[in-house]
């Protein structure tokens, strides 16, 4: 029998605010333990939470960017459970009335992964287990999070990968999070079940907690899919449980059963008041949203006439897309800028983090200047390419690297002289050409180009050489 994977995601994204969700301590990553703390962070008796305005705004942005409805009225609830990393023994979250509801993310295969809800909540502190003891650091406690809960609409590991990548990209585009999975600012819980292909009924699901790498997610899902299929095929039952993925052994295992079954006793937090987001405010925030990756991709392909593959490479990182748009501005064909970026600049920003930062010596304005020199016939492509390499190395502007004489081109006499030299220096190629090897002429033209340092017009040189060889 063939089985199909059914998966849903709960994704925690840390919001890039300056301060924590309920107090004015910094959210900066790192820092000595317990140095980003105040009486509110450590839940001292008598302290009260005060909601950060920007958290609400960022969550609304995230909701709008994932096609959610923004609730006019939402509320904060307490999720009660006792654990040393949770200083109040409850997490302030949203249960009954989350800020965002019923959105979706569209995948490249046209399927929509529905988003059930997005709510705001506080992060917990950090526990370090060492030598049989536990150390507790509350620096991360109170850092704002959004939890994005999808419906179980994902049907393959490829879809899962794309869903997470899209989510990450969108959040980065709208600037609400850096979504650095390795630093934990984006983490995923995945619900997985399997069912025979064609069946409508959902199987028993397991939940793999807290994964912070897309590759791990893919591996864990694959392992878990196979494990569940094996269980069913051997007549056993899948047990509903929470699992942990071990990236060393590439296996999942049940988390140690806590003494108490989860009963979070949610109730409205009496210390916080209603969040009321009028329609007009939603419209204001919507107007502030930048163009989203999906819209950009469409525009690059349809309006800028880039090949889809190129367009995808460019929209994948917000800064790359911004760089491209500035570099291509006012140029004849946007494709030229795209080629320079994908062909040459990407050699300098190889990995994800580098592309994310786009920390290179060339500015988009300089590249734009260079492309305009080509457009205006001042320089040839070959010279432009070598100049860009130099720009990437030195950070200098095209005007600093290309001299007047470079841009002047070759006059007719100089070209004729150089072509004559080329013919004399390449007797073999001349002979080949005369014997009908049309391509042999390229070698002679190449000689001209090289010796003119790219200034010569290849077409004109070829015509001149043909004239000379007769």
Q: Which parts of this chain interact with another protein (CB under 8 A)? A: 17-19, 24-26, 32-39, 41-56, 78, 80, 82, 84, 87-90, 128-129, 132-138, 259-260, 263, 265-268, 270-276
Nearer to another protein, 44 or 353 (CB): 44
Nearer to another protein, 269 or 354 (CB): 269
CA distance 319 to 32: 31
CA distance 272 to 74: 11
Tokens (6 digits) for 139: 């620096």
Provide, rounded to whole angstroms, the least separation between the CB of residue 289 and another protein: 19
Provide, rounded to whole angstroms, the least separation between the CB of residue 72 and another protein: 11
SS3 464: helix
Q: How far is CA 204 from CA 10, 128, 226, 469, in A?
A: 17, 33, 14, 80
CA distance 307 to 268: 52
Taking Cα atoms as reference points, which of 229, 208, 117, 122 lies closest to residue 160?
Answer: 208
Provide, rounded to whole angstroms, the least separation between the CB of residue 118 and another protein: 18
Tokens (6 digits) for 149: 């809960």
Nearer to another protein, 34 or 213 (CB): 34
Tokens (6 digits) for 389: 């390499």
Provide, rounded to whole angstroms, the least separation between the CB of residue 331 and another protein: 39
Taking Cα atoms as reference points, which of 334, 444, 453 lies closest to residue 386?
Answer: 453
Provide, rounded to whole angstroms, the least separation between the CB of residue 40 and another protein: 9
Provide, rounded to whole angstroms, the least separation between the CB of residue 281 and another protein: 10
Nearer to another protein, 271 or 308 (CB): 271
SS3 108: coil
Taking Cα atoms as reference points, which of 458, 13, 83, 12 lies closest to residue 259?
Answer: 83
Provide, rounded to whole angstroms, the least separation between the CB of residue 168 and another protein: 23
Nearer to another protein, 46 or 427 (CB): 46
CA distance 117 to 99: 8
Nearer to another protein, 25 or 444 (CB): 25
Task: Report helix angle 318-328 to 364-375, nearest 10.
Answer: 40
Nearer to another protein, 82 or 287 (CB): 82
CA distance 444 to 462: 8
Taking Cα atoms as reference points, which of 167, 146, 149 lies closest to residue 17?
Answer: 146
CB burial of 448-470 (b: ≥16 within 10 Å; e: otherwise) equals bbeebebbbbbebbbebbeeeee
Provide, rounded to whole angstroms, the least separation between the CB of residue 21 and another protein: 10
Tokens (6 digits) for 42: 């450590």
Nearer to another protein, 137 or 325 (CB): 137
Nearer to another protein, 22 or 317 (CB): 22
DSSP state of 256: P
DSSP state of 440: G
Nearer to another protein, 161 or 268 (CB): 268
Nearer to another protein, 39 or 254 (CB): 39
Using DSSP bridges, classify how beta strands 186-196 and 77-80 pair: parallel, antiparallel or unpaired: unpaired
Nearer to another protein, 133 or 351 (CB): 133
Burial bucket for residue 424 (CB in 10 Å: 0-12, 13-18, 19+): exposed
Provide, rounded to whole angstroms, the least separation between the CB of residue 143 and another protein: 13
Provide, rounded to whole angstroms, the least separation between the CB of residue 69 and another protein: 19
DSSP state of 409: -
What is the biggest distance separating any 2 CA atoms in the chain, rounded to whole angstroms? 98
Provide, rounded to whole angstroms, the least separation between the CB of residue 62 and another protein: 16
Provide, rounded to whole angstroms, the least separation between the CB of residue 140 and another protein: 13
């Amino acid at each position: 029998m063939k089985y199909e994977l059914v998966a849903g995601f709960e994704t925690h994204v840390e919001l890039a605010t300056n301060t924590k969700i309920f107090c004015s301590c910094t959210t900066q990553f790192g820092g000595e333990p317990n140095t980003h703390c105040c009486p509110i962070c450590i839940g001292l008796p008598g302290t009260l939470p005060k909601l950060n305005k920007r958290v609400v705004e960022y969550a609304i942005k995230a909701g709008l960017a994932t096609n959610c409805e923004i609730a006019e009225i939402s509320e904060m609830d307490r999720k009660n459970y006792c654990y040393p990393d949770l200083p109040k023994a409850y997490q302030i979250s949203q249960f009954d009335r989350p800020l965002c509801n019923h959105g979706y993310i569209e995948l490249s295969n046209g399927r929509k992964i529905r988003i059930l809800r997005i709510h705001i909540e506080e992060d917990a502190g950090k526990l370090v287990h060492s030598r049989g003891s536990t150390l507790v650091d509350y620096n991360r406690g109170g850092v704002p999070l959004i939890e994005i809960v999808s419906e179980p609409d994902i049907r393959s590991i490829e879809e899962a990968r794309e869903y997470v990548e899209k989510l990450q990209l969108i959040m980065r585009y709208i600037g609400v999070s850096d979504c650095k999975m390795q630093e934990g600012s984006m983490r995923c819980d995945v619900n997985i079940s399997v069912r025979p292909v064609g069946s409508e009924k959902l199987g028993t699901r397991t939940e793999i907690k807290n994964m912070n790498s897309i590759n791990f997610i893919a591996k864990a899902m694959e392992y878990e899919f196979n494990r569940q299929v094996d269980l069913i095929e051997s007549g056993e039952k899948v047990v509903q449980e929470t699992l942990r993925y071990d990236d060393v052994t590439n296996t999942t295992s049940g988390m140690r059963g806590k003494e108490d079954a989860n009963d979070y006793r949610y109730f409205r937090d009496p210390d916080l008041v209603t969040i009321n987001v009028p329609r007009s405010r939603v419209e204001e925030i919507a107007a502030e949203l930048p163009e989203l990756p999906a819209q950009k991709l469409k525009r690059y392909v349809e309006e800028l006439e880039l090949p889809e593959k190129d367009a995808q490479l460019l929209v994948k990182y917000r800064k790359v897309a911004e760089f491209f748009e500035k570099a291509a501005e006012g140029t004849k064909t946007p494709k030229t800028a795209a080629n320079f970026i994908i062909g040459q600049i990407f050699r300098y920003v190889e990995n994800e983090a580098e592309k994310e930062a786009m920390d290179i010596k060339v500015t988009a304005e300089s590249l734009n200047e260079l492309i305009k020199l080509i457009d205006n016939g001042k320089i040839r492509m070959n010279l432009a390419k070598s100049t860009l390499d130099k720009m990437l190395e030195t950070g200098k502007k095209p005007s600093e690297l290309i001299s007047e004489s470079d841009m002047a081109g070759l006059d007719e006499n100089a070209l004729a002289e150089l072509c004559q030299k080329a013919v004399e220096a390449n007797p073999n190629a001349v002979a080949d050409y005369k014997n009908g090897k049309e391509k042999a002429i390229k070698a002679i033209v190449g000689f001209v180009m090289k010796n003119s340092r790219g200034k010569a017009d290849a077409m004109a040189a070829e015509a001149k050489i043909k004239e000379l060889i007769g």
